[in-house]
Each structure stands twice: as C-alpha cells, then as structure tokens.
C-alpha cells in the first residue's frame, strides 16, 4: 500500500453491465476522474458489453456522456471527449462471446506489446458463473485481471460453486473481489491509526477494551432497489462483506509489512478465529413501508436491518464482544467504529456515575477520530467533566489527488495490487461464519422509519447500549 504514482501499462477495459446502474453512477465517472487526475494509462480502450445493444457506438457514447454530466462535478469536456472517444460497445452473453473476443483481441493489437486486460463483471449473481464460463471458453479471461462484485454467492454452497468456476478459468492472483467500502480512505486509515501511533496500539486489546461496535446505518430506504433487496437482503448485502471486512481491519494482528499477502494473511486469521454466528444473538428488522416499495412482495419477510454480536477468539480479543449494525431507513447515515474502554475505579471521585472512555472513528467522506476523556471540572471540588479530543483527518492531500473508492480500487487492479480485495479463503470462512443465520433465520421484526431498529436490537449490547445515536 505504499504510494505509487507510476503510470499503468496500456489497458483494454471490458465492462460487462455497461448500461447498468453501477456503470452509470460509478465506473464510467471513475474512469473519467482517473483520466482527469492523469492516472489512466497513456494508451487504453474501453469496451462496454451486455446482452442488449444501446444502439450505435455514438449513441452509447451519448448515453455515457449524460452519466458523466450527472455524476461528475465540473466536467471538463476535452477530457470527457478523450475518454468517450476510446469507448465502444459489443453485444455478448453467456452463450455467445465470439464477437467480444474478436473486439478485445483487436484492441490489444492496436495497443501493442505489453497491453493488459481488465474485465469488470457488473452482472447479477445469477449471471456471474455463466459469464465467467464464457470468458474462459472464448479466451477473453486469459492473462486478464477479473473484477467481480459482491455478493460472492448467496450462501456457503453457492459461494463454493462460484469459486470452483473461477478456478477453472483463472488463477487466484487474477481475481479481484471488489468491496468498495475498503477503497475508502477512512477505512484504510484504521491501519495507520493503529500501527503508526504508540499511544493507541498498546491499548487495542482485551486488557483495555470491553466492546467494539461497527455501526453503518443509512437514512435512505430501499426505494428503487426493491428487486435487489428481495433477492439479497441486508445480511447478505452488508454483513458478509462490508461490516465483517471492516471488523477484520479492526481486529487483525500487526502484519510484518502492509503488502497484500501479509495484510490479507492477518485478516484471514481473524476470520478463522471468529465463532460461527449465533442466530439467537442476531436481530433482523424490516422498516415499516418496505412492502409498499416497487418490486417488493407485499408479504415480504426480507430484512432491511441487521444487528448482531460476534466474537473473535484470539489472544488479543478473547472475551470482547463485537457488535455490528446496519440497516435502511434509520435515524442517521453514519459509518462509525467505537471502542469502549474499561472503566478504572472511580470511587475516589465521589458517588457520581461515570461512563467509560470511548475511541470513535467516523469513516465518512470527512473522517474524524475522537476520544472521550475525563478532566477536573473547574471549581473547589474534585468533580469531573467530560472532554473530547477531536481529530479531523484531511481528505485532500496537497501532494496528491484524492480518489473515491471505486477509482482507488480500479487503479489498484491496473497495478495488480490485491491489498484491498477479498481472497477466496476469506470469502469461504465468512460464509461458514454466517451460514447458521441463514439456516435458522431470526424473525423479521418491524421498525419505524427514522428509528434505530427493533427494540431487541437496541437492547443487544446490554446496559452500555450503542454509541449511536450520539448522547
């Protein structure tokens, strides 16, 4: 993860699902921003692909220009023209990829020796395996880097089937399982905060910490994503990926280096030490009004909210509960990690009840770190007052251009850096951990929009409660 400003080799970018929502909102704007920051190769081609033609190449470019106009601030027309001028579309599906293979080979020939392939599969889970099979049969996947989107399967069995299909076509070092949450600067800053500060790392363990919370609530509803939620739910969408991965960063042991192998080895050890989830300590919820959303079953029991208790049985974390919470239509949109520390004997300060110290990391677009401390209240008595040390972590480095999550991850794929991507053994172990909840689903409890979830979830951490909402 060391800084690396080298220009990538010439690339052919092949984007499946090129007319879909993710491509429109994130992938094409991301490629534009990389071009604007001079992060793309000097020579490259972009081939969009899908089952249905958007019209001529010029009509396709016009559609993507509309997306850039909508999702990019201060669009530079000359840069947009250059990116769009390299863009073409080729129809393909799981049964027929011959034309696509020919288009990719032609683009590689045009770019010359040393050109590489980056294939981005932004397709529904049901289409993933057939598309990978086609890429193998047509030779498109040969020597390519293959980016696949979550969910990586829908349960342990399907995940293993997907992994077997991948192994039939490509090697593990060609696979980049993307979790855009790990591309956020604030998430990566967990590592810097822990391992670059002698004040913090010595207290980052069970001797000093009594609980850890990873809390990612959203105010938005599932509006416009009803069909996705009906097939996936919050547990598969968020817990088996984003929240567990963030938990892995919090709980891992110090790696010898921050290279991809060392870091992912330590994260994998965390997941190996996690207990399978206890369905009795998992709460599912569904916000009132979800069943009225478009493409949602009027009798749906799909969860839009999850809260759970997890345990990591390493020497560092034995006996420390990890509480994970996420959901739609909640009281705020936050990405908060809270470490609650043990309370020292406070009797010497009188009979007043004093809460514990907390270290709070806000993983937002404007990351902050805060620590709640006690100090003497001014006056003649030894009374205490709460003070907060607050650190704002600058997103804009004057020595570098800040990158959004997808841009950072696309750049890492071009460079072959797998640090922030999920390895197959991690995926398999996380499904083992989560499978008991799928086998014995908790009942789905209703909760009011704008609340913090069902009452059982609010009570899950016990008397200490959740950090959010802020006191």
| Annotated binding-site positions for substrate | 180, 184, 218, 237, 328
**In sequence order, which residues have a C-beta less than 8 Å from that of residue 221 and are 6 or more positions away?**
287, 289, 290, 293, 328, 329, 449
| Token pair recorded at residue 281 | 């300590």
Query: Residues annotated as binding site?
Result: 17-24, 51, 150, 180, 184, 218, 237, 328
Let me know: does 244 contact 150? Beta carbons within 8 Å. Answer: no
Categorise residue 17: left if φ over 0, alpha if ψ from -120 to 50, beta otherwise.
left
Residue of 11, 52, 242, 390 with catalytic role: 242
Q: How far apart are CA 80 and CA 56, in angstroms?
A: 18
Q: Is 83 in a helix, a strand, or coil?
A: helix
Residue pair 48/19 in contact (Cβ under 8 Å)? The answer is yes
Rounded to an integer, what distance in angstroms lies between the CA atom of residue 178 and that of residue 413?
Answer: 10
Q: Does the active-site annotation cover 390?
A: no
DSSP codes of every residue in 376-421: EPSSSS--EEEEEEEEE--S--TTS----HHHHHHHHHHHT--TTS
Residue position matching structure tokens 């850096």 = 417
Q: Is 5 left (phi over 0), alpha (psi -120 to 50) or beta?
A: alpha
Enter the tokens of residue 111: 């770019």
User: Are the C-beta atoms of 84 and 65 separated by less than 8 Å?
Assistant: yes
In whole angstroms, how far apart are CA 403 and each of 38, 53, 85, 249, 349? 12, 31, 23, 20, 48
| CB under 8 A, 24+ apart: contacts of 387-393 | 392/366, 392/367, 392/368, 393/185, 393/186, 393/189, 393/367, 393/368, 393/369
At 392, give phi and psi (nearest 5°): -95, 125
Where in the sequence numbering do the catalytic residues fall? 242
């Amino acid at each position: 993860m060391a800084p690396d400003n080298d220009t990538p080799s010439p690339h052919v970018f092949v984007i499946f699902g090129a007319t879909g929502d993710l491509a429109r909102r994130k992938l094409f704007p991301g490629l534009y921003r990389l071009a604007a920051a001079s992060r793309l190769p000097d020579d490259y081609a972009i081939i969009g692909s899908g089952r249905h033609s958007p019209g001529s190449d010029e009509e396709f470019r016009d559609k993507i220009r509309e997306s850039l106009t909508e999702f990019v601030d201060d669009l530079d027309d000359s840069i947009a023209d250059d990116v769009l001028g390299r863009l073409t579309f080729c129809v393909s599906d799981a049964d027929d990829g011959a034309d696509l293979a020919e288009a990719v080979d032609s683009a590689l020939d045009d770019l010359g020796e040393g050109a590489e392939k980056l294939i981005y599969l932004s397709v529904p889970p049901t289409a993933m395996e057939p598309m990978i099979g086609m890429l193998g049969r047509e030779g498109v996947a040969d020597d390519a880097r293959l980016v696949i989107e979550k969910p990586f399967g829908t349960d342990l069995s399907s995940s293993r089937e997907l992994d077997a299909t991948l192994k039939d076509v490509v090697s593990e070092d060609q696979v980049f399982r993307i979790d855009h949450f790990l591309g956020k600067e604030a998430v990566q800053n967990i590592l810097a905060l822990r391992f670059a500060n002698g004040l913090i790392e010595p207290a980052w363990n069970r001797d000093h910490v009594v609980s850890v919370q990873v809390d990612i609530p959203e105010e938005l509803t599932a509006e416009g994503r009803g069909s996705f939620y009906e097939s996936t739910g919050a547990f598969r969408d968020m817990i088996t990926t984003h929240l567990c991965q963030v938990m892995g960063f919090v709980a891992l042991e110090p790696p010898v280096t921050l290279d991809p192998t060392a870091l992912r080895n330590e994260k994998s050890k965390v997941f190996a030490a996690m207990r399978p989830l206890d369905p009795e300590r998992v709460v599912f919820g569904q916000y009132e009004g979800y069943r009225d959303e478009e493409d949602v079953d009027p009798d749906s029991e799909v969860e839009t909210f999850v809260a759970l208790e997890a345990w990591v049985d390493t020497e560092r974390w034995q006996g420390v509960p990890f509480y994970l919470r996420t959901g739609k239509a909640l009281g705020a949109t936050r990405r908060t990690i809270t470490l609650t520390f043990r309370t020292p004997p406070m009797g010497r300060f009188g009979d007043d009840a004093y809460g514990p110290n907390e270290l709070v990391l806000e993983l937002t677009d404007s990351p902050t770190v805060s620590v709640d401390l006690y100090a003497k209240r001014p006056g003649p008595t030894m009374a205490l007052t709460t003070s907060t040390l607050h650190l704002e972590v600058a997103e804009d480095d004057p020595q570098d251009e800040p990158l959004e999550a997808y841009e950072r991850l696309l750049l890492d794929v071009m460079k072959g850096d797998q640090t922030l991507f999920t390895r197959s053994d991690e995926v398999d172990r996380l499904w083992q951990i989560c499978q008991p909840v799928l086998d014995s689903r908790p009942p789905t409890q209703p909760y009011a929009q704008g609340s913090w979830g069902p009452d059982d979830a609010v009570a899950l951490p016990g008397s200490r409660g959740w950090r959010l909402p802020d006191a």
